[in-house]
Amino acid sequence: MSTEPGGYVADNTPVIIGVGQYSERVGEPGYAALSYMDLAGRALGAAIADSGASGSVAGAIDTLAGIRAFEMSRPDRKPPFGAANNVPRAIAGRVGAHPKRAILTTTGGQTNQQLVGEFASAIAAGESRCAVIVGSEAISTVLALTAKGEIPDWSEDVPGDCEDQGFGVEDLLEPALMLHGATGAIPLYALAENARRHRLGMGLEDYRLAIGRLFAPFTKVAAAIPHSAAPVERTAEELATVTDRNRVVAEPYTRMTVARDQVNQAAAVIVASAGLARELGVPEERWVHIHAVTGATELKLSERPDLSACPASIASVEAALARAGKGMDEMAYLDFYSCFAIPVFNQCDHFGLSADDPRGLTLTGGLPFFGGAGNNYSAHAIAEAVQRVRAARGSFALVGANGGWMSKYATGIYSTDPADWSGNDRFAVLPKATEKVPVATGPVASAVVETYTINRSPKGDQAIFIGRSDAGERVVGNADLGDPATAAAFAGGEPFGARLALSHDARGRTMGRVT
């Protein structure tokens, strides 16, 4: 048994023994322009100290997973100042650790949360005794130094083997959407957001205000967190009102309501067996138990039957709650991944949560305000969750981690109450949905608009739509904003249901005009 009679926790029970965060803001006192590796090393050092161990935690680490920094997350991107050739071992070296297994993870904001489950399961099976998840971002420093013409050398040659799990972006690639200008997270999420807006029958301004009302409480949390990149409390109206400083980046999003990637942040989580925790002298009051971790993968955006929803994320949360034997109302602390509003709205819609839920929907302040630390944001959320449940013993915290364009999701549930890992069945990866909408593979004469967004930039506006052909296939294209009727429909925010006549150019792009 993982939890034996009399309350004794079995030696092979996985527990979080330490969490650590580190951050710096450009120009503030003590700012040192640290590299990715240095930031991560300091966060790991903080996690080791947080354990309160009397023995050597660093010497006991047998597995270390380095989360890919944003600038290392795609084959076509390279860190502008260079980086370690062996990321996990470079971080390990900062604290004097020599893990047997060093991992460079795949891309995705769900990765660190899912790894908590994977490593906990390995510990329960006796395959590991101490595993670390650690990552960092230094994008703010990169931009600041580049603007001054400074090019430091952050490259490192670190010996040792490294299990490179690859970029893992194959499921994220949407060639048709990217061909038409949906080349990043903002327009891809905006397409889903506008589909939800249409489902609710809301106009653009009202929906922007709804996003503001969702996120205003997040800003209050961020303002009180020392690691926040933007610790400023704002009203819903401030977030929703379009101004020169808060321009629309892609309908319906204003600049203040999208994930802030210009951060210098790092976070680490240490999972160990209860037996090792005892050997290391980690006080039991520092232990936090892992009650459930579930992972799920969604269909590609263009294949989803409902463009406004992410059923995989709901399934992940529901499965984690079920395995923990708890309801949403029993979660004292919540952190829903908030790169944009819609991943939070999806949870609120399903579970009946409101923006002013007295528990709050974030523990950090969320990605637009605390900071969107690339693939590593949820390590910060887990760190905050651990501190909350330690302070309120017997309480439960839920962390929901999102990757891609609502493409992957992982949920974790934490408490100081012991969790029984004797069956090693508290970590699960759910099956992927199979009922998907076919995507057109050749030219289509016309389509009816299901959703859209407008990328707005100094170079001009670009409208992107997803629609359905008469054959029921999904069609992606650009709306011809040079046509007055088409421009009026899209700029007015209500092109839903409009029929577009489609033309095609030599590059394979589709252009639509309202008929």
Q: Residue 1: pLDDT above 70?
A: no
Q: What is the DSSP string of 396-445?
A: EEEEEEEETTTTEEEEEEEESS----TT--SEEEPPPP---PPBP-S--S
Q: What is the pLDDT of residue 220?
A: 98
Q: What is the largest CA-CA distance in the chain?
A: 76
Answering whether pTM is above 0.95, one says: yes
Nearest CA among 168, 214, 172 for reference residue 189: 172
Sequence-distant (6+) residues with CB within 8 A of 446 are 469, 470, 499, 500, 501, 502, 515
Q: Residue 7: pLDDT above 80?
A: no
Q: What is the pLDDT of residue 366?
A: 98
Q: What is the pLDDT of residue 218?
A: 98
Mean pLDDT of 137-158: 97
Q: Residue 354: pLDDT above 90?
A: yes
Length in residues, the chain: 515
Q: Residue 5: pLDDT above 50?
A: no
Q: Are the CB atoms for 172 and 182 separated by under 8 Å?
A: no
- What is the architecture, at CATH level 2, of domain 446-514? Beta Barrel (2.40)
Mean pLDDT of 79-85: 96
Q: What's the CATH number of domain 5-172+260-428, 3.40.1190.20, 3.30.70.20, 3.40.47.10, 2.80.10.50?
A: 3.40.47.10
- Coil vs helix vs strand at 458: coil
Cα–chain-centroid distance for residue 438?
Answer: 28
Give the rounded percent of residues in the chain with a pLDDT score beyond 70.
Answer: 99
Mean pLDDT of 484-488: 98
- Quote the tokens at residue 440: 């057109």
Evaluate whether 5-172+260-428 and 446-514 have a shared fold: no
Q: What is the pLDDT of residue 3?
A: 52
Q: Residue 184: pLDDT above 50?
A: yes
- What distance in Å separates the CA atoms of residue 22 and residue 41, rounded to the nearest whole number? 9
Q: What's the pLDDT band for 74 if we cut at 50, 70, 90? A: confident
- Quote the tokens at residue 447: 């389509």
Q: What are phi and psi of 449, to 5 degrees?
A: -70, 125
- What distance in Å separates the CA atoms of residue 275 and residue 339, rounded to the nearest whole number? 38
**Least confident window among 163-172, 255-264, 344-353:** 163-172
Mean pLDDT of 374-390: 98
- Quote the tokens at residue 31: 């700012």
- What distance in Å separates the CA atoms of residue 276 and residue 13, rounded to the nearest whole number? 10
- What distance in Å separates the CA atoms of residue 312 and residue 41, rounded to the nearest whole number? 34
Mean pLDDT of 157-184: 94
Q: What are phi and psi of 324, to 5 degrees?
A: -75, -15
Tens digit of pLDDT for each residue in 417-467? Answer: 999 999 999 999 999 999 999 999 999 999 999 999 999 998 899 999 999
Tens digit of pLDDT for each residue in 229-252? Answer: 999 999 999 999 999 999 999 999
Domain layout of the chain by residue ranges: 5-172+260-428, 446-514
Q: What's the pLDDT band for 158 if we cut at 50, 70, 90? A: very high
User: Residue 318: how many CB atoms within 10 A of its CB?
Assistant: 17
